[in-house]
Chains A and B, each alone.
Chain A
Amino acid sequence: MFYREAGQYKSTYAADMAVFPLRQDRIGIAVILAIAFIGIPMIGNDFFIATVMIPFLVFSLAAIGLNILTGYTGLISLGTAAFMGVGAYACYKLTTFFPGVNIIVLILISGLFSAAIGVLFGLPSLRIKGFYLAVATLAAQFFLQWAFVRVPWLFNYNASGAIEVPLRSLFGIPITGASASAETRYFVCLGLVVVLTWFASNLVHGRLGRSWMAVRDMDIAAELMGIKLLNAKLLAFAVSSFYAGVAGAMMIFLWYGGGEAADVFNIRLSFNILFMVIIGGLGSLIGSFFGAAFIASLPTILKFGLPALGVPLSGAAAEHVTFMLVGALIIIFLIVEPHGLARLWQITKQKLRTWPFPY
């Protein structure tokens, strides 16, 4: 009843191929955007925005990137964190060389560097598949992380090997550096995430996305149908790394605000982003958001939320409980719904469609 698409006729091809052909979807998106742009800054305090919302947005973008590679093209990567790092360091070098260029532009450009590196490490994917490829991407993870520490040029020969985030502003409002307020950084993140998600949505629904899915479902068959594997796989690596790179640059410039960067992009982060994609739902953009909320925000909420609910837990014990709870929840979710949170969302939509008279 709430979600009935019957009776919505399309009279042009363009309308039929729209990303959101349904009125309900369009309304839903508008509501979500309204909450994100108006609701959260109004009700959330600084702590909530800085430690829950900004990380959530950054990880969502990274998860979308990995989802393009793993969910849509079927190539597993455990090097996402390293590609994020490439973005962060590229952005740092760029803003050192071109301090006058707007930082948002630089964040986007740094994604291109990450894409180039991604393509380079994506080359083995033409020959290696499955878990073998996953472990091969670990080479990228460890090599790049080593380079972040050992190539002093990358961090401008800083004695402690740390990145410093300078003050950069847009229309006179500081958006990076310590004096940027949490709200400003949140709006910049949100803007980038919304635009890039819209772009990704168009990409995966278009020709390229279809060819990726064909490769995922069976690459030999896709090849026989005339899809060039080389192009499709490397493009997937490029686009995926681009998203990861932008997310990485956002992570350092809009969230962390400088400091020890090399250690941030460690193997754990790569795994976490893979969790987000799998828990959220392979091959689903909305799933990437669910996954990021689950994996990135849940531990934070548990850590700071449980004591507030009156559960008496010391710091260390809370950490242990959080670990156990997250582990157990991962298993429970996989058992209850192996297709991820996105599938739960679909089921919900189905229920809404038939409510109140389910059949």
Chain B
Amino acid sequence: MKQTGLMKGAALGALLAAGAAIAPVAAQDSVYFANNAYRTGPFSGSGIPIGDGMRDYIAMINERDGGVNGVKVIYEECETGYDTKKSIECYEQAKSKNTIVYSPWSTGATLAAIPRAHIDKIPILSMAYGLSASAEGSTFPWVFIPPFTYWDGASVMVKHMANELGGMDKLKGKKLGLIHLDAPFGKEPIPVLENLAKKYGFELKLYPVAAADMQNQGSLWLSIRRDRPDYLYNQGWGAMNPTAVKEAIKNGFPINKLVGVWWAGGDDDARAGGAEAKGYKSLNFNAAGTNFPVIQDIIKHVVDKGKSLAPKEKVGENLYNRGVYNSMLVVEAIRNAQKLTGKKVVNAEDMRRGLEGLNITEARLKEIGMEGFGTPSTISCSDHSGHSKMYVAEWDGTKWTKGSDWIEPLKDEVRPLIEAAAKDYAEKNAGWPKRTESCEKSS
């Protein structure tokens, strides 16, 4: 009995502590930024480099500049394991700690957070993931999806296909296969691809992969062999990607016709295929490598001081750099919010204004040591994504290289769909709040 008494005591203590843990962070010269991370679970292969990149950029800003205009950014990770339930807990924690922006890092978590954030007035920054429709700023004033959406990505995939074939008119009669994770994330590009297929006369074939069968894609690739698609677009994540690359090689699918979404562009994903993976492509909006002033600063101020979680050879990998890009967006938005409000310590509502007025130009990228590092992106009141340009990266056997010029998405095709989808969303979520926030000018 004594033991159980002790256990109960411990449990009670932990319970009370859990309540106390949630006291808002209110240090004088700092802002709190909650980031969801998944360093555990089946998706951790992709989650770890991203988390490292995000963490290190913020650490570098704090270390080198003493914060954003003297305001330290308190960065805290909340482990989700890519599990929606845990991400909801993380959202609640971020909310009670007064985060300035919520970074969900999974489409499922974004979908769950969108309705809450509009009530709680916390901006969501879902960088190139999440609900494509949320690019419509007048319906979703609190969600930001720079630099572009999955729908833009799908349109670039079609454009890339046309470029290689020699023109949009050559698409007629071709077959595009979409391998996708059977979850909201994977299903995102389907409406756009269906639309474009109708318009340009190519055929769309869907190859869904259940989360449980991520590493068991044998029969799916047999179907691909039967259908003989001309191109494959892989909307995959986690352990699904290396398996897809391996299976493509195994089944004799020409690897240079397999194009992954930007999340299928991890170094580990391509490396799984060995030497034969040379030529594997993935859409991308940031550059890989350490040859940028910003990465050098990270190495100097964070990695070499032993303050990074990433081993040095992983710094500069594609997904690591993407994490850096995401943190850059956060830092720039803080800077912008400070400028717009005149306050030093900004809160979530100021941050929303900062994000809405975000304008990352080539010149600005150069100023912060990111020339050629990532795509420029401009957010406006109605357009919360920017529909920025991207490029097709190519795996050369050891690293990612730039395989094409920057490609603009088919904005004219995507935008009407986004507007329709946003309207539909507001209708289905009866009682969706009307936008009351005033518009922010780009600056």
A contact residues vs B (CB 8 Å cutoff): 44-48, 50-52, 55, 99, 142, 146, 149-150, 156, 158-162, 164-168, 174, 177-179, 255-260, 262-264, 266-267, 298, 300-309, 314-316, 318-320, 336, 344, 347-348, 351
Contacts and interface: CB of A to CB of B under 8 A. Distances in A.
A301 B14 CA distance: 6
A160 B430 contact: no
Most B CB contacts (10 A, CB to CB) among A263, A347, A348 go to A263
B307 to A, nearest CB: 13
Given A167-B429, A304-B18, A318 B92 contact: no
A174 B115 CA distance: 14
B18 A305 contact: yes
A206 to B, nearest CB: 33
A168 B431 CA distance: 9
Given A258-B112, A260-B107, A304-B18, 10 more contacts: A45-B19, A48-B18, A164-B425, A178-B116, A256-B112, A264-B84, A267-B212, A306-B14, A316-B79, A319-B40
B183 interface: yes
B112 A259 contact: yes
Interface of chain B: mostly helix, strand, loop or mixed: helix
Contacts of A142: 212
B430 A263 contact: no
B211 interface: yes
A160 B107 contact: yes
Given A259-B108, A300-B18, A179 B119 contact: yes
Contacts of B13: 309
A160 to B, nearest CB: 4
A58 to B, nearest CB: 11
A165 B111 CA distance: 11
Interface stretch (B187-195, B258-266, B362-370): B187-195
B4 A305 contact: no
Contacts of B184: 160-162, 259-260
Interface in B1-33: 1, 3-4, 11, 13-15, 17-22
Residue with the highest number of chain A CB atoms closer than 10 Å, among B111, B188, B210: B111
Nearest to B79: A315
Q: Which of B39, B81, B85 counts the most A-chain CB atoms under 10 A from its CB? A: B85
Give the secondary structure class of A's interface: helix
Given A260-B183, A315-B77, A302 B430 contact: no
B368 to A, nearest CB: 27
Nearest to B15: A301
A260 B114 CA distance: 12
B118 A319 contact: no
B162 interface: no
Contacts of B1: 347-348, 351
A306 B16 CA distance: 11
Contacts of A159: 133, 187-188, 190-191, 421
Contacts of A179: 119, 431, 433
B428 A166 contact: yes
B18 A260 contact: no
B37 interface: yes
A50 B92 contact: yes
A260 B115 contact: no
A244 B418 CA distance: 37
A138 to B, nearest CB: 12
B431 A167 contact: yes
B111 A160 contact: yes
A164 B429 contact: yes
Contacts of A256: 84-85, 88, 112
A45 B16 CA distance: 11
Interface string B65-97: 000000000000111010011001100110110
Interface in B32-75: 37, 39-40
CB-CB nearest 5 A-B residue pairs: A167-B431, A308-B21, A178-B115, A315-B79, A316-B39
A304 B19 CA distance: 8
Given A161-B187, A177-B115, A315-B78, A46 B15 contact: no
Interface of B: 1, 3-4, 11, 13-15, 17-22, 37, 39-40, 77-79, 81, 84-85, 88-89, 92-93, 95-96, 107-109, 111-112, 115-116, 118-119, 131, 133, 182-184, 187-188, 190-191, 208, 210-212, 421, 425, 428-431, 433
A149 B17 contact: no
A46 B94 CA distance: 12
11 contacts: A46-B92, A149-B183, A159-B190, A165-B115, A165-B429, A177-B429, A256-B88, A260-B84, A262-B183, A263-B84, A302-B14
A347 B4 CA distance: 11
A161 B116 contact: no
Contacts of B212: 142, 267
B230 to A, nearest CB: 25
Nearest to A178: B115
Contact of B19 (A48, A146, A167): A48
A159 B81 CA distance: 25
Given A159-B188, A160-B131, A263-B84, A319 B79 contact: yes
A308 B23 CA distance: 10
Contacts of B111: 160, 162, 258-260
Contacts of B131: 160
Contacts of A156: 428
A280 B171 CA distance: 61
Contacts of B85: 55, 256, 264
Given A47-B92, A99-B430, A164-B428, A257 B112 contact: yes
A265 B342 CA distance: 47
Contacts of B115: 164-165, 177-178, 257-258
B116 A257 contact: yes
B183 A161 contact: yes
A309 B22 CA distance: 12
B190 A51 contact: no
Nearest to A99: B430
A30 B244 CA distance: 58
A167 B19 CA distance: 29
A351 to B, nearest CB: 7
A263 B108 contact: yes
B210 A47 contact: no
A174 B184 CA distance: 27
Nearest to B309: A314
A66 to B, nearest CB: 18
